[in-house]
Amino acid sequence: MPTAPVRNGEIYFEESGAGEAIILLPGLGHDHTYYAKTVPPLARLGRVIALDPRGLGRSTESAEGYSVEQWAEDVVRLVEHLGAERAHLVGSSLGACVALQAALDYPARVASLVLVAGFSELDRSLEINFRMRMKILERLGLGDVLADHIAMWTLGRGFIETDDGRAAVERLFSSVSRNSPQKYRAFIQAILRFGRLEPDQQGQPRLTARLGEIRVPTRVIVGGHDILTPVSVSERMAARIPGAELRVIPECGHITFTERPAETVALIEEFLRRIISHYAR
């Protein structure tokens, strides 16, 4: 079982292909299987690593709680374990936050960024959404009500009406229910702290203020019908990251890898092919 040593634990990962390291960072509550359909095409470009973030799947749990900074450090320790000088980071939703944090905290270890449906801070609507999830956990537990709430906010209205959409809702429920209520709550608290929204963080600058420090090629991707992190959120990130490219997938919700996997992978593949070719010169 391939694992990488990290501070106070180990990170499980699976790899395919050869060449420059491409690390895939999944969304909230998901493990490496989130990218099952993404790995084969990207493995034609490089050494693709799909991991279980700390606290998920076969990776170490944390008795001290969780944080985006900790997840970012784990990614860098994995890069070092692989013997790679740097890695291209592909992150979806929370995974995009982790990728951003890694690029800012460990710039020498990051070769490029692909940020899919990401965010560098939480506006009031996004904060309400995550705090509502915690209320559902407290009152109804980790069950179908929470899964329905997540599906409503992350999958497009038209997609939910399809057979593929209904199957995706079932997969969401299955994925969410693999977490314990306590752990899922801890993950949400990590997101709120990432947004500097807890009482002891008043006055602390948000990560958005640091986006201008990023100096690696960056592509920002978002679904045109994403209501959780709408296009405007990605537009602001792309405007603040020097040279960032923005691509919008029309008529698609938050989880583009589920709704429009072919288009999402094509946008990532085209970007990485160009960037990896540039590094090879």
SS (H, E, C) 11-26: EEEEEECCCCEEEEEC
DSSP-based three-state secondary structure for 218: strand
Whole-number Å distance between alpha carbons of 120 and 28? 15
Q: What is the pLDDT of residue 227?
A: 96
Place of tokens 């429920």: 173
Mean pLDDT calculated for residue range 176-189: 88
Whole-number Å distance between alpha carbons of 31 and 51? 7
Q: What is the pLDDT of residue 23?
A: 98
- Choose among 142, 5, 14: nearest CA to 60: 5
Radius of gyration of the chain (CA): 17
Angle between helices 124-140 and 181-194 (to 10 degrees): 160
pTM of the model: 0.96
Structure confidence at residue 131 as a pLDDT band (50, 70, 90): very high
Tens digit of each residue's pLDDT (9 = 90 or more) over 47-70: 999 999 999 999 999 888 899 999
Tokens of 15: 């790899």
Write down the H helix ranges in 63-198.
68-81, 94-105, 124-140, 144-154, 157-160, 163-177, 181-194
199: left (phi over 0), alpha (psi -120 to 50) or beta: alpha
**What's the mean per-residue pLDDT of the chain?**
94
- Residues of the chain with pLDDT > 70, as a percent, come to 99
Tens digit of each residue's pLDDT (9 = 90 or more) over 86-101: 999 999 999 999 999 9
Q: Where are the domains of the chain?
A: 3-122+203-280
Pick the CATH number of 3-122+203-280 from 3.90.180.10, 3.40.50.2300, 3.40.50.1820, 3.40.50.2000: 3.40.50.1820
H or E segment and range at residue 266 = helix 261-280
CB 112, CB 216: distance < 8 Å: yes
The identity of residue 194, as a single letter, is F
CB 25, CB 75: distance < 8 Å: yes
Residue 175 has pLDDT above 80, yes or no: no
